[in-house]
Chains A and B, each alone.
Chain A
Amino acid sequence: MSKELKFLVVDDFSTMRRIIKNLLHDLGYPNVAEADDGTTALPMLQAGGIDFLITDWNMPGMPGLELIKAVRADSKLAKMPVLMLTAEAKREQIVEAAQAGVNGYVIKPFTAETLKEKLDKILGAVK
């Protein structure tokens, strides 16, 4: 996978989307699309062209977990690498996300190093 990867960042807070977008830019991934919840994100994913999904959990409309389930249920998107970036920290939730098929789980507040480490790990495994 090259640095030309296109990311979709899904978070209901525009500031958090901007922070993630900036960090991705610094990591050498300038190609980033944004959505504010699962309902907006799903059609964007289905339209194609997105290589990596980073999503929050707690959002109005369609929450992140539901989005991941929808992605995994869609034959065209089923293999999409997904990183969950969320404030949800209950162990049962982390297990639930893992069962829903996330490739990585980062809890907020997070550091640039953690994000880089998880991206590298997921992309390394996908390669």
Chain B
Amino acid sequence: MSNFQVLNLEYGACVEALSEALRGGDETAFFAAVDHIVRMREPQTLTEVRRLTGDLQKALERFGIESRLADFAENEIPDAKTRLAHVIRMTDEAAHRTLDLVEQSGPLAERCAREAAVLIDSLKAHREHAAGTGGIESGVRSLVAFLPVVRALEAFLPTVRADSEQIRRNLADVLLAQGYQDLTGQIIRSVIKLVEELEEALASLTKLSGDVVEHATLGENPDKGHGPVVPGVTRGDLAAGQTDVDELLSGLGM
């Protein structure tokens, strides 16, 4: 049955009644027929209005989410990138500062140990020598022979004091350099919050469009590597530690 035939079946009788009333000049019958036609159309009109209202509401919501997303794209994401780059810079600076101080302190500690070892040997040699001799004359000789050791000790002790003080200062600076963690932690936390908001906006948008979105995977190139293992995020068969790696490799004949 064609569309028009359906319309003819539904409305034919009413239209007939309407033209009958018109021809006969029957005002009451005329308006009754008009009312009947309007009532017949009402449900469809209401459905249509409801659909339009729904669409309008969705469009408004969508507009709200989309303008929020536009704001993310224009301002907050670039800001977050700058903030994260700053985190890398801060951690880099702190690590280099720490390495500088460690590299400065190492030779100082080494010098102390080296010079102390020389002195220990001299003292030991002197004691052994003194133990094997007797008499006043040899006592005086022993004392004279001891003088260079005393001088070396006199030179050594101020150096040890200065070096130890420098090492102590360096350690205090190493301690201070760790302050970056507080600052970078705060910045990273703010970026996590932004990612959460972005996640919410995207989820609402997906819900509005009602489309089932296929799970998309980021284009990964395994040759590039996946980066450090992140607990709860990194999936796959992971080596638990160096022992695990060694076992795996020895299993491969390495």
| A, B bound | yes
Q: Which residues on A are within 8 Å of B, measured CB to CB?
A: 13-15, 18-19, 22, 57-59, 63-66, 86-96, 98, 103-108, 110, 114
Q: Given A93-B226, A108-B228, list of 6 further CB < 8 A pairs?
A: A92-B236, A93-B225, A94-B245, A98-B252, A107-B241, A114-B242
Determine which of B92, B95, B226, B242 lies in contact with A88 in the assembled complex, contact meaning CB atoms within 8 Å: B226
The contact string, 1 if C-beta is below 8 Å from chain A, for chain B 229-254, is 10000101111011001001100101
With CB as the reference atom, state the residue of chain B lying closest to A125.
Answer: B254
Q: Is the CB of A22 within 8 A of B99?
A: yes
Q: Is the CB of B252 within 8 A of A91?
A: no
Decide: A94 near B239, CB < 8 A? Known: A15-B92, A105-B245: yes
Q: Is the CB of B242 within 8 A of A15?
A: no
A19 to B254, CA, bound (A): 26
Determine which of A58, A65, A92, A95 lies in contact with B227 in the assembled complex, contact meaning CB atoms within 8 Å: A58
Tell me which residues across on chain B come within 8 A of A87, comparing CB atoms. 227-229
Q: Is the CB of A91 within 8 A of B92?
A: no
- The yes or no answer to B102 lying at the interface (CB within 8 A) is yes
- The yes or no answer to B222 lying at the interface (CB within 8 A) is yes
How far in angstroms is the closest Cβ of chain A from B251?
A: 9
Number of interface residues of B (CB under 8 A): 26
Q: Is the CB of A107 within 8 A of B227?
A: no
Tell me which residues across on chain A come within 8 A of B224, comparing CB atoms. 58, 63
How far in angstroms is the closest Cβ of chain A from B227?
A: 5
A27 to B36, CA, bound (A): 101
The contact string, 1 if C-beta is below 8 Å from chain A, for chain B 64-108, is 000000000000000000000000000010011001001100000
CB within 8 Å of A: which B202-241 residues: 222-229, 234, 236-239, 241
A98 to B239, CA, bound (A): 14
How far in angstroms is the closest Cβ of chain B from A71?
A: 15
Tell me which residues across on chain B come within 8 A of A91, comparing CB atoms. 236-239, 248
Q: Is the CB of A58 within 8 A of B239?
A: no
With CB as the reference atom, state the residue of chain A lying closest to B99.
Answer: A18
Tell me which residues across on chain B come within 8 A of A106, comparing CB atoms. 242, 245
Q: Is the CB of A66 within 8 A of B237?
A: no
Tell me which residues across on chain B come within 8 A of A114, comparing CB atoms. 242
Q: Is the CB of A95 within 8 A of B252?
A: yes
Q: Is the CB of B226 within 8 A of A58?
A: yes
Decide: A90 near B239, CB < 8 A? Known: A14-B96, A15-B95, A66-B223: yes
Decide: A15 near B249, CB < 8 A? Known: A89-B239, A91-B239, A98-B254: no
Determine which of B223, B228, B238, B254 lies in contact with A65 in the assembled complex, contact meaning CB atoms within 8 Å: B223
Determine which of B96, B227, B236 lies in contact with A18 in the assembled complex, contact meaning CB atoms within 8 Å: B96
Tell me which residues across on chain B come within 8 A of A93, comparing CB atoms. 222, 225-226
Q: Is the CB of B242 within 8 A of A94?
A: no
How far in angstroms is the closest Cβ of chain A from B226?
A: 6
Tell me which residues across on chain A come within 8 A of B222, comparing CB atoms. 93, 96
A99 to B96, CA, bound (A): 35
Q: Is the CB of B229 within 8 A of A89?
A: yes
A122 to B155, CA, bound (A): 45
With CB as the reference atom, state the residue of chain B lying closest to A69.
Answer: B223
Q: Is the CB of A90 within 8 A of B99?
A: no
Tell me which residues across on chain B come within 8 A of A64, comparing CB atoms. 225
Q: Is the CB of A63 within 8 A of B99?
A: no
Q: Is the CB of B95 within 8 A of A89?
A: no
